[in-house]
Amino acid sequence: MHIRSIPRETVIRPSALPQWLPGSGGSAVLLIHGFTGYPGDMLYLGRRLQAAGFAVSIPRLPGHGTNGRDFLQVGWSDWLRAAVDAYLALSSTHEKVHVAGLSMGGLLTILLAAQFEPERIALAAPALAIANRTAGLTRWLAPFLARMPSRVGGEEPSEDPDHKALFEEYWSWNWVRPTANLLTLKRMALRALPRVRSKTLTIVSKADTTVPADVAELVDRSIPARQRRTLVLERSSHVVVNDVEKERVADEIAGWFTE
């Protein structure tokens, strides 16, 4: 990390601040957001889990929710360390800790499960495969190119100030160097799958253009966990925990963690 490259005026957007939702029992859930995402993506699910009695921690992964220059100062080891620290903090204060992750958060969840064996995990559109085939080129381009403007049209930012700022700083760019770091986590998670014995729920969507739905089959045939379940959605885009079928997703995850 080059601290001098982080602008002095850097702030964390309000919706990107870490979230702590106290529970009414001895169990907790760690929720991990995705690549270029932020804790706000996981807040609906977090509130639903809190209503089910769980304490919920939603950390902010380093470099996220601030600005692009900050994002370029971190990598896979920073994201993994943050996830490990959040898990250890919860497991030090709660009898039982479950973990759920979205996209890159799903990769981090797999790595946590392989090492610490939480009883149950949920993988939401885990980035074990990426539909954009050009992503594989980033490992060779990363030493020479950090990012480039996105030429792909997509969802426009809403009127929400946080959403506008995050759109400008993160979602309007193709992140070459950070994507290479994401692919490093992907390779690590693929190697870790055979060590995952946590009871595993996998959620994918046929309408997801970022992570193909067939990653659920990869998970199912690769992990030795005796209890596995898959939910295939029809209409949700990549952020399945906060899209048009978020109620169903929250129902499934809350039910999975309370079985």
The DSSP bridge partners found for residue 230 are 202
User: CA-CA distance, 69 to 54, in Å (whole number)?
Assistant: 35
* 152 pLDDT higher than 60: no
User: CA-CA distance, 228 to 219, in Å (whole number)?
Assistant: 9
Question: By three-state DSSP, how is residue 191 classified?
Answer: helix
Instruction: Give 153's pLDDT tier (boundaries 50, 70, 90).
Output: very low
Nearest to 55, CA basis, from 10, 85, 93, 18: 93
> For 221-245, what is each residue's pLDDT tens digit?
999 999 999 999 999 999 999 999 9
User: CA-CA distance, 147 to 172, in Å (whole number)?
Assistant: 10
The whole-number pLDDT of residue 140 equals 62
> For 28-41, what is each residue's pLDDT tens digit?
999 999 999 999 99
User: CA-CA distance, 246 to 257, in Å (whole number)?
Assistant: 16
> For 81-119, what is each residue's pLDDT tens digit?
999 999 999 999 999 999 999 999 999 999 999 999 999
The whole-number pLDDT of residue 2 equals 87
Rounded to whole angstroms, what are the CA distances from 148 to 60, 67, 69, 168, 249? 24, 15, 13, 13, 34
Largest CA distance in the chain: 50
* 154 pLDDT higher than 60: no
The mean of the pLDDT values for the chain is: 93
Which domains are assigned to the chain? Answer: 3-133+180-258 (3.40.50.1820)
Nearest to 15, CA basis, from 41, 33, 45: 41
* 146 pLDDT higher than 80: no
